[in-house]
């Protein structure tokens, strides 16, 4: 019985393998995948023959198996491609958003606003006289002698208040020092 089963399989294999392979290649467009499909189909045929399951038309049976295997493979590929396109379009949109965001990023604007907030907050935290002297020096552009006479202080006293204000600003703006010029 075993020899007749092997002969039967070999006969069917020899007659139908190349036809099934050509059929699979015509739809899959990948010789390796087509060869795998036909090999799997031939294994299924062998199992049916061993089980002594009568098949009336081997050609129709084999082509049905090849057709179904090709369909399964192509449907799987279609799902992979669709998922890839969805991920690709999402990634593309996200990339475009990052590019656009980076192109519109203006570090000067962001840092200048942050610096101004910190600058004003620091000045507000200074004692009134220190703040007044610093503003007269930096915003009004008055000389140390002029400020000393206006505030009735010595030149060294004015220098002390300006140095105190600058120290407080340096500490507050230490992360921004490359961007700040007093």
Are 41 and 28 spatial neighbours (Cβ–Cβ below 8 Å)? Answer: no
Pinpoint the alpha helices (H) of the chain. Answer: 2-28, 31-50, 58-104, 107-125, 128-138, 144-151, 155-172
Number of domains in the chain: 2
**DSSP at 174:** G
Residue-wise pLDDT for 56-71, tens only, equals 899 999 999 999 999 9
**Which residues fall within 8 angstroms of residue 155, CB to CB, at 6 or more apart?**
144, 145, 148
Do both 99 and 19 map to the same domain?
A: yes
More confident residue, 17 or 83: 17
* Residue at which a domain ends, from 88, 103, 118: 103
pLDDT confidence of residue 103: 77
| CATH number of domain containing 94 | 1.10.1740.10
Which of 118, 146, 121, 143 is CA-nearest to residue 131?
Answer: 121
Which of 5, 76, 9, 71 is CA-nearest to residue 45?
Answer: 9
Residue-wise pLDDT for 41-58, tens only, equals 999 999 988 887 788 899
> What's the per-residue H, E or C state across 129-155?
HHHHHHHHHHCCCCCHHHHHHHHCCCH
Domain encompassing residue 26: 2-103
Q: Which two tokens stand for residue 173?
A: 């703006």
* Residue at which a domain ends, from 85, 103, 121: 103
């Amino acid at each position: 019985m075993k020899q007749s089963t092997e002969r039967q399989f070999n006969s069917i294999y020899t007659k139908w393998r190349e036809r099934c392979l050509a059929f699979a290649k015509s739809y899959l467009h990948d010789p390796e995948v087509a060869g795998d499909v036909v090999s799997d189909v031939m294994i299924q045929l062998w199992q049916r023959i061993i089980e002594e399951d009568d098949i009336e038309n081997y050609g129709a049976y084999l082509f049905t198996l090849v057709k179904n295997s090709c369909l399964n493979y192509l449907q799987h590929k279609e799902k992979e491609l669709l998922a890839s396109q969805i991920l690709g379009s999402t990634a593309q949109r996200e990339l475009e958003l990052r590019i656009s965001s980076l192109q519109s990023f203006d570090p000067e604007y962001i840092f200048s606003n942050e610096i101004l907030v910190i600058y004003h907050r620091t000045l507000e935290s200074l004692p009134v006289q220190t703040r007044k002297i610093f503003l007269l020096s930096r915003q009004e552009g008055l000389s140390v002698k002029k400020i000393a006479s206006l505030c009735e202080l010595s030149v060294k006293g004015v220098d002390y208040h300006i140095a105190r204000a600058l120290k407080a600003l340096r500490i507050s703006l230490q992360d921004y020092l490359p961007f700040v010029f007093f």
